[in-house]
Amino acid sequence: MLKPNTHYAELKDSYLFFNISQKVKAYLDANPDKRVLRLGIGDVSLPLCPAVIEALHEAVDDQADKSTFHGYMPECGAPFLRETIAAHYGNRGVTLAADEVFVSSGASDELGDILDLFSPENTSLIFEPAYPAYVDANVMGGRKIIHLPSGKENGFLPKPNESVQADLIYICSPNNPTGAVFTKELLTEWVDFANRTGAVILFDAAYEAFIEDDNLPRSIFEIDGARTCAIEICSLSKTAGFTGTRLGYTVIPKELERGDMNLNAMWVRNRTTKTNGVSYILQKGASAVFTEEGQAQIKANIAIYKQNAKTIMHALDQHGIWYCGGTNAPYIWLKCPNNMDSWGFFDFLLNEAQIVGTPGSGFGQCGEGYFRFSTFGSPEDTKEAAQRMLKLL
């Protein structure tokens, strides 16, 4: 008799975004004349930059001509894009071989799929609060999870704890939801810890492009020793507005081995079995992100989101509200004023100022009493939300 994967029954229903949309709908049904400002979303609002659009159009035309047509693409990524991404790392002082870069359809896909490399008997260490997909992918795979709490006292940047025995360690920097960024020193502590214990770090760098402080690491491979203990998962979603276009990349160094197994070679085997590559058109479009022109254009878009962050931070500063993130990250994580709990503050902001954010408790217990603002909305809405907050709080 067929047995389903019963671990799915252990998943907690995620009501976070459903509850938010239900509450907003109920509010608008009762107050149809009000304009709600949405600062909750983690999706981008600016379109793809012109360099990418041009490359995508050219790639479509290539597919119309027998001499430039592409069929199946190499499973691990087109050599032109793998080389381009490796060179991009090289410009930042990180040496990678092109075949250490794997082109993917996005970070979410990879965060789930990469667990194929590890035994279900492994234990995963997940910092709290956390991006919910880490927990759910591990529950589905039947892995034991240890939650490592973090809070205001350590700036939401936990240190390794020698008493914790884990095989996989998730680090997201810049962090979703807290916007906190690991320093080189702290990341070195985690790398040393992983090398000492044999753990592997899954480093989620989906927001690296938002780091403006040159002293902060944008890649874990800026840290000595990371090549023997880390995998980096990256995405063009937030870097270049690819949330609906879909392209990411994963870096697995050739030195990364556990037991007698080489993880880079295992991933080649995995990809050549489980995918037929990312579309030629998207890989061509993505390669334009890494040109001089593309870099300037995506930076101009990121600058607009960063201005949104400044607008929100200014309003919070006026009221002396504690927050982290915002400067090197697209999220601002704040302590709810007047000791309100996360949903209490959500209701207060929605009812009194028609502003929607994300309650911190949706990212784990340590998020209770906190709130996340996203800076991916329109500058007009963000400015108006800041003005409403200034009046309200």
Which of 167/204 has CB closer to ligand PLP?
204
Rounded Cα gap, residues 360 and 340, in angstroms: 12
Give yes or no for residue 172 binding ligand PLP (CB under 6 A).
Answer: yes
Angle, alpha carbons 306-308-314 (nearest 5°): 105
Q: Binding-site residue total for ligand PLP (CB under 6 A)? A: 13
Site residues for ligand PLP, window 5-44 (CB under 6 A)?
A: 42
Contact stretch for ligand PLP (CB under 6 A) within 114-122, 235-243, 263-271, 362-370: 235-243
Site residues for ligand PLP, window 341-360 (CB under 6 A)?
A: none
Residues 129/176, Cβ–Cβ less than 8 Å: no
Q: Which residues contact 359 (CB under 8 A, 6 or more apart)?
A: 16, 20, 342, 343, 345, 346, 367, 371, 372
Give yes or no for residue 237 binding ligand PLP (CB under 6 A).
Answer: yes
Q: For helices 280-287 and 79-91, what crossing angle results, to 10°? A: 20
> Using the 8-state DSSP alphabet, how is residue 265 labeled?
H
Interface pick for ligand PLP out of 63, 188, 243, 291 (rule CB under 6 A): 243
Nearest approach in angstroms of CB 20 to ligand PLP is 15
C-alpha distances in angstroms, 259 versus 115, 185, 194, 304, 325? 16, 28, 15, 47, 38
Give yes or no for residue 248 binding ligand PLP (CB under 6 A).
Answer: yes
Which of 208/354 has CB closer to ligand PLP?
208
Interface pick for ligand PLP out of 176, 245, 250, 287 (rule CB under 6 A): 176
Interface pick for ligand PLP out of 128, 167, 204, 232 (rule CB under 6 A): 204
Contact stretch for ligand PLP (CB under 6 A) within 13-21, 46-54, 102-110, 317-325: 102-110
Interface pick for ligand PLP out of 89, 118, 131, 343 (rule CB under 6 A): 131
Nearest approach in angstroms of CB 34 to ligand PLP is 28
Contact stretch for ligand PLP (CB under 6 A) within 4-12, 103-111, 223-231, 272-280: 103-111
Q: Which of 213, 162, 221, 163 shows the shortest CA–CA distance to 188?
A: 221
Written as one letter, the residue type at 243 is T
Site residues for ligand PLP, window 250-269 (CB under 6 A)?
A: none
Rg (C-alpha) for the chain, rounded Å, is 21
Which residues are bridge partners to 170 per DSSP? Answer: 126, 202
Give yes or no for residue 108 binding ligand PLP (CB under 6 A).
Answer: yes
Residues 204/131, Cβ–Cβ less than 8 Å: yes
Site residues for ligand PLP, window 213-232 (CB under 6 A)?
A: none
Rounded Cα gap, residues 364 and 132, in angstroms: 8
Which of 194/234 has CB closer to ligand PLP?
234
Which of 227/238 has CB closer to ligand PLP?
238
Q: Which of 209, 210, 127 shows the shortest CA–CA distance to 168?
A: 127
- Which residues of this protein are in contact with ligand PLP, per CB under 6 A? 42, 106-108, 131, 172, 176, 204, 206, 235, 237, 243, 248
